[in-house]
Amino acid sequence: MFYHDDELQYEVEVEEPNPKFAKMLQQAIGGAEGEMRVALQYMFQAFAVPAEKSEYRRLLMETATEELGHIEMLATAVAKNLQGASDEQREAAREDAVIAEMMDSGQPRQALSAGLHAMPVDSNGTPFNGGCVVASGNLAADMYANVMAESTGRLLATRLYEITDDPGMEDMLSYLIARDTMHQNQWHAALETMDDHVPVPNSFPQEKENQDHNYEFMSTYRDEQPDPEERWTQGESVDGNGEFSYGEQPGGGEPDLDEVIEAMHNEIN
Amino acid sequence: MFYHDDELQYEVEVEEPNPKFAKMLQQAIGGAEGEMRVALQYMFQAFAVPAEKSEYRRLLMETATEELGHIEMLATAVAKNLQGASDEQREAAREDAVIAEMMDSGQPRQALSAGLHAMPVDSNGTPFNGGCVVASGNLAADMYANVMAESTGRLLATRLYEITDDPGMEDMLSYLIARDTMHQNQWHAALETMDDHVPVPNSFPQEKENQDHNYEFMSTYRDEQPDPEERWTQGESVDGNGEFSYGEQPGGGEPDLDEVIEAMHNEIN
Amino acid sequence: MFYHDDELQYEVEVEEPNPKFAKMLQQAIGGAEGEMRVALQYMFQAFAVPAEKSEYRRLLMETATEELGHIEMLATAVAKNLQGASDEQREAAREDAVIAEMMDSGQPRQALSAGLHAMPVDSNGTPFNGGCVVASGNLAADMYANVMAESTGRLLATRLYEITDDPGMEDMLSYLIARDTMHQNQWHAALETMDDHVPVPNSFPQEKENQDHNYEFMSTYRDEQPDPEERWTQGESVDGNGEFSYGEQPGGGEPDLDEVIEAMHNEIN
Amino acid sequence: MFYHDDELQYEVEVEEPNPKFAKMLQQAIGGAEGEMRVALQYMFQAFAVPAEKSEYRRLLMETATEELGHIEMLATAVAKNLQGASDEQREAAREDAVIAEMMDSGQPRQALSAGLHAMPVDSNGTPFNGGCVVASGNLAADMYANVMAESTGRLLATRLYEITDDPGMEDMLSYLIARDTMHQNQWHAALETMDDHVPVPNSFPQEKENQDHNYEFMSTYRDEQPDPEERWTQGESVDGNGEFSYGEQPGGGEPDLDEVIEAMHNEIN
Amino acid sequence: MFYHDDELQYEVEVEEPNPKFAKMLQQAIGGAEGEMRVALQYMFQAFAVPAEKSEYRRLLMETATEELGHIEMLATAVAKNLQGASDEQREAAREDAVIAEMMDSGQPRQALSAGLHAMPVDSNGTPFNGGCVVASGNLAADMYANVMAESTGRLLATRLYEITDDPGMEDMLSYLIARDTMHQNQWHAALETMDDHVPVPNSFPQEKENQDHNYEFMSTYRDEQPDPEERWTQGESVDGNGEFSYGEQPGGGEPDLDEVIEAMHNEIN
Amino acid sequence: MFYHDDELQYEVEVEEPNPKFAKMLQQAIGGAEGEMRVALQYMFQAFAVPAEKSEYRRLLMETATEELGHIEMLATAVAKNLQGASDEQREAAREDAVIAEMMDSGQPRQALSAGLHAMPVDSNGTPFNGGCVVASGNLAADMYANVMAESTGRLLATRLYEITDDPGMEDMLSYLIARDTMHQNQWHAALETMDDHVPVPNSFPQEKENQDHNYEFMSTYRDEQPDPEERWTQGESVDGNGEFSYGEQPGGGEPDLDEVIEAMHNEIN
């Protein structure tokens, strides 16, 4: 079960409020690369860990809980960017200026639906969708999903860092980028504890795989091409279980569907 | 640009048609782990590769093209499972039997909307959604997304394999599982060609990261816990750039939002 | 069944066309707080009312029908804001000016997909989604959903009112705000006719509830805190059936899931 | 920021595993009435509370944190219902029986995508969507949203209670129903502390409303009907600011849109 | 503006209630081929018609209003199929039987979320989505969208007709199929009044089109194929403005993207 | 199965990069009128064609394959518009200028999520959704869906053409508009080969339709109106099977739902 206290996980200051940057920060809250996704992803992965693997459950749950605090930090950052007023704005009435900026920001819902606060949406206002949360039941697949999530998450954070020059936002993003560095490392570390996990899942007997095409790079060029002699077309496979080769699509005959049954009314003439 | 011919990439036979298995196969077409997602993912990744890295563009585009053929194979498999009749059904009139099975299958749309054919939806009938396609512009992040996609994709295919005992479906899935083995290996191989890519992105100078928390495992237990001495709490970090440590959430003071401007009508009393 | 005539429910005039305001008005059409949602919500609620409670069916259906007319009014307002030309624009060619404003408006689909007209989307262009429509079958729950919908709906309309200074738009919004006032009042009035409906549903015997935690404010602070002595931590409960108290999460032991069955391929080593 | 420990908030036992009930429990996790929605709703509402109203921030954040624990409880319940085997099943091999039940359950993704565990989806497998989360910035509107959420939430829990006869599930649901009772009461209690909040928002001057239609029940019958003399058509309004009356739609003339500009290519002939 | 009365548009009787058929009927309410879509589509199309083309506005609005009544009919049909009891059920307690059928129906939300009533969702429980509503601003394009909608709508209704043998449901569907016949005819009739509208839009000067490829069937076979001499590869084009020919994809050189700017962090070594 | 080569289908040049136009081009990739939709629509329609109608399968598959190449062209156009720099920008540092334009473009995800490249989303950033793909199993219904898709697709392309004055973009759009002209013609040509297909489906015996209302224009005016004597209210129906007439909604009595079963907890008092 969960607990909280009143503090943010890390300080969040905004010197120069900027509604357009608020809109961009939303990507880090509700976007495909954002904190809602990872918080829920690690949580649902943890929920699926059996009792005898409690070290992984703990690893996942600790990090899920940390990410909940990142949502709170980012929501605070969004509100501070939306409610404040830039230097130029201070000359005009603050209220009109903020509204005018919202009109221009491309994300009016932050005023209209949220009264100038954060929302569970991405930077285009598309609502967070649970469909991208990966919790497969297989720990190795989950760890790769987590490496990916932290890779795109850190990429997003560095792009946000390049876009702002507000010292408070830079400090907050510097912290979040650091945490993404750690999280990438910890998921890789967890994979190191699972030897020989490639190909995932490793419990399916590879002899049941089709043996002609399981280490073959399949070229789909219109005109047959010579082997480009890349790391992925020759030499030992990365999992050590095979030898890369180079070939073409095998071909399996034309599909031969029957007319369907009458009650479907597919018939024409 | 693209071309096609009349053949399937690999043969697709169904001995014992089974509408419930057709429903399950839809997950491999339009689900988060399915072929539509990877075909589009590799394609959009390829679209973003600059000219001087054409070997990666080719790698991605060849595989995207292969996956388009997997959609075609699976769509054929769905149709053959839906339109046919099982042994038990042959005693009754085929038409009534198929409709009755559809009523029980939990996926009536395959009759109602598609006349007993495949659809761009997952096994719950949720339409394919482009929101989970990852094409980040950063090749390393993309490769991890691909490793993940092929890990959950192969996991799905092995689960489908366990669920069917139709020889035709087993043969088709054996082929698809083999291809997932290759694809996992080839994305790992591509990552091998990108040295020192962790943490992704590797072009952001790590000295700009917060240096206190970038290799620290952050415990979020209610009550402080001793270091569990796992691979991810001590020793050298996986990227070789730091040393794992163990600590608690730093804390950053309470958020202190102002009342927002009057025009938002947030006020109560 | 339904009927219509050619008139709008209330006049809709726009003096100073403004594509950015058109974009904002879309929130009142297809947004979570908008008219499509309430029209459909009241309609589906009405569809579920049994014959012996026809006064509620009529109440709901009359208001659903009124809301359909609000969609028409707002769609007219959107078109008038998109197609016209502001004073500044009249100096330039009208056509170029409107297109230029669309480029800047953040909602190009109103030109690209709708030829400068209203769409069933919200102010970010996210399509209307039936998933937020509440028609629970329980009239009290439905009425609270309606109070909520009219509260956020009126809030949206007042925010829109603050953002515009077009006299025609102010007049239209003044009318819509008035109707939201009435609708809030009428749903509260309907709740008054349902005595003792809290907790909803009132037909579930409260003695079947867990008796230790049904009137207890559950603190989730990391560190135990003293009772803050608020209205919700002590004194009689609002439903009159209990006494508020203050406590902590009870705790229910660690989850102890088994390893799942082999065919799921969850195993790692 | 957030913390956790290893215990569930309340015990979760399942005597007679039932995959179909697991499917139904998903509605209480990822459905419109479920725990993900309320956890996020209360959290985002809390994120928007200004410093001088910290008692409301605390109220919201404590309850958000509690709801996170309910997700964990329900996810555990789903896994226990999916992985186990009913009495009938024990006669057959457990593995085949569980898979056969999944085939029949209408929710194959719990096997295919999650390896027999909980997912962030509703009982039809539709992914959780942030679009229904209400955090308006206005506390009174938010509280009505919360009353509604707990009303439909408790309704869902009582329906689930009626559907199961597993003692463990009944005990867990009895606890969750009790918490919904408390939560309904606490949100009503918070509304009691905000006097004269109807109509929401109460900061918009009512004299700016259209005064002819703000307390009028608007009949939309095809044929004019006599006043039904209901609580909502006569007598004092619930907010005490007006008198209910009964009337018809005012009518505002026909919409008179111009032809749009040529570049839209709307013309026919 | 809109009006209603208490009657259904056409009688709705159910002799043999069937929850599985209720689930299927949902496709005709909230599915891509359903009545919500056409009611909203015709309504938004009507909203966009300029004053001088009022005969089209009336045509669209009359039909939109009719479709609202179809939603009501279908919602009544869903409720009657869900609440009743089949002959077999009458031997058992009605209540348990209905719940058991819901458990098996694959659509538990009709009990859990709607108390055994209709919902704005399709037959898989996916919520209605406004994204498929077509109201393009161009009347000819809209009419083709309407022909399509009534074609798939009538197809759906005939498939539902084949699946049921309940006399009441057959009678209702016979009426809806008849209306779809009329609607297909009326949209075709409207197209007849717009001469020379192909290609849509007809106001774009065809001389601005690429003149080499505007009447050429473009073969995408891997290996060049002879002209199949079909209606679409030779002879006069249907619009009468050109001559069909047969050719291959022209080819436009390789895409040559630059490396993107540094701040995007796309670089790998 | 599918193949590709390295060339684009047609050249894509951008003289004056424009991030706002890039955002608009996204509608032609991932929008309801876009190339992803038609590529998948024609592909899934082809997947459903039985062996004896292979000319239609080929027609559909050739065009699906062509459309895949259009996605590639448009993705290239988006990247070139995003990465480049306009004349005005060249005076400033290119990097800052591009970022500033992204901030203003209303589509920050193209920087944040895609590193200045194309995405599978529409011009509002809403992800592509498979729910609008029509593949009904009935070829005539499918062809009307295709006529519609190419009509709204060509309309979109002409609107984009009017908005840009970049010579490269005009040339590319001139090509795409030409292809839409051909595609509209080829689907109409295919319909010509299916005589007497209206009403769709033509295999349902029309004598089973309700004979009183299958050729009647149903007026829904509040007040009865005289026959407007339009093409759709009198004369021979377009399908030649009936005579248009003019009438009113028939009326079918009030819906008479029972109270539902107790376990649903719908009761109030």
pLDDT score, position E30: 97
CA B224 to chain F, closest CA, distance in angstroms equals: 37
Nearest partner of F258 among A197, E251, D6, C52, judged by Cα = C52
Judged by CB atoms within 8 Å, which residues 12-41 of B form the interface with A? 12, 32
Round to whole Å and give the CA distance between D129 and D120.
9
Q: Which residue has the tokens 């043998």?
A: E165
Nearest to B27 among D106, D113, D196 (CB): D113
Chain F residue with minimum CA distance to D223: F222
Model confidence at D164: pLDDT above 70: yes
Complex ipTM:
0.94
Q: Do C263 and B159 touch (CB under 8 A)?
A: yes
Nearest to E137 among D31, D33, D260 (CB): D260
Q: Do E159 and B111 touch (CB under 8 A)?
A: yes
Nearest to F115 among B3, B72, B137 (CB): B137
Question: What's the mean pLDDT in D98-118?
Answer: 83
CA A222 to chain E, closest CA, distance in angstroms equals: 6
Neighbours of chain F (3+ CB pairs under 8 A): A, B, C, D, E
CA E106 to chain D, closest CA, distance in angstroms equals: 5
Model confidence at A86: pLDDT above 60: no
pLDDT score, position E262: 84
pLDDT along chain E (269 residues), means of 10: 97 92 95 97 97 94 98 97 64 65 80 93 94 96 98 97 95 98 98 94 96 97 96 97 97 88 79
pLDDT score, position F239: 97
DSSP alpha helix (H) spans, chain A: 19-30, 35-47, 54-83, 87-91, 94-105, 109-112, 139-163, 167-192
Round to whole Å and give the CA distance between E203 and F158.
10
Model confidence at C192: pLDDT above 80: yes
Nearest partner of A134 among A120, A152, A119, judged by Cα = A152
Say how far residue D27 (Cα) sits from the centre of its chain. 10
Nearest partner of B80 among F48, A96, E26, judged by Cα = F48
Model confidence at D85: pLDDT above 60: no
b/e burial code for range A51-82 (CB count within 10 A of at least 16 → b): eeeeebbbbbbbbbbbbbbbbbbbbbbbbbbb
pLDDT score, position D212: 97
Nearest partner of B45 among B28, B66, B62, judged by Cα = B62
User: Structural domains in chain E?
Assistant: 19-192 (1.20.1260.10), 205-249 (no CATH)
**Angle CA E22–D19–E77, to nearest 5:** 5
pLDDT score, position F83: 81
Average pLDDT over chain C reads 92
Model confidence at C85: pLDDT above 90: no
Inter-chain Cβ pairs, chain A and chain B, closer than 8 A: 348
Q: Do E2 and C7 touch (CB under 8 A)?
A: no
Nearest partner of E29 among D268, D84, D68, C133, judged by Cα = C133
Q: Do D185 and C80 touch (CB under 8 A)?
A: no
Average pLDDT over chain A reads 92
Tens of pLDDT, residues A110-155: 889 999 999 999 999 999 999 999 999 999 999 999 999 999 999 9
Any chain D CB within 8 A of the CB of C264? yes
Instruction: Return all residues near B203 (Cβ < 8 A) that are at least 6 apart.
Output: E262, E265, E266, E267
Which positions in chain E touch D159 (Cβ < 8 Å)?
111-112, 115
Nearest to F185 among E117, E154, E237 (CB): E237
Any chain F CB within 8 A of the CB of B176? no
Chain F residue with minimum CA distance to E149: F145
- Sign of torsion, CA E16 E17 E23 E27? positive
Round to whole Å and give the CA distance between F195 and A45.
56
The CA-atom distances, in angstroms, between D253 and each of C5, C36, C174, D223, F222 are 10, 22, 18, 20, 15
Round to whole Å and give the CA distance between A138 and D51.
44
pTM of structure: 0.95
Q: What is the CA radius of gyration of chain A?
A: 25
Chain B residue with minimum CA distance to D50: B257
Any chain B CB within 8 A of the CB of C163? yes
Model confidence at C214: pLDDT above 80: yes
Which token pair is B151? 């890990």
Q: Do A122 and F121 touch (CB under 8 A)?
A: no
Tens of pLDDT, residues D168-218: 999 999 999 999 999 999 999 999 999 899 999 999 999 999 999 999 999
Tens of pLDDT, residues F167-222: 999 999 999 999 999 999 999 999 999 989 999 999 999 999 999 999 999 999 99
Note if the bond before E199 is cis, omega within 30 degrees: yes
The CA-atom distances, in angstroms, between C146 and each of C51, C232, D42, D96 are 21, 24, 19, 47
Tens of pLDDT, residues A164-221: 999 999 999 999 999 999 999 999 999 999 989 999 999 999 999 999 999 999 999 9
Sheet of B235-236, strand order = B216-219, B243-248, B235-236
CA E91 to chain A, closest CA, distance in angstroms equals: 32
> Do residues E82 and E12 lie in contact, with contact meaning Cβ atoms separated by under 8 Å?
no
Nearest to E213 among F178, F262, F266 (CB): F178
Any chain B CB within 8 A of the CB of D137? yes
Neighbours of chain A (3+ CB pairs under 8 A): B, C, D, E, F
Model confidence at B66: pLDDT above 90: yes
Which positions in chain A touch E222 (Cβ < 8 Å)?
222
pLDDT score, position B168: 97
Question: What's the mean pLDDT in C117-127?
Answer: 94
Which positions in chain D touch C179 (Cβ < 8 Å)?
213-214, 218
Any chain E CB within 8 A of the CB of D269? yes
Round to whole Å and give the CA distance between D89 and F106.
56
Question: What's the mean pLDDT in B20-49?
Answer: 96
Chain C residue with minimum CA distance to E2: C4
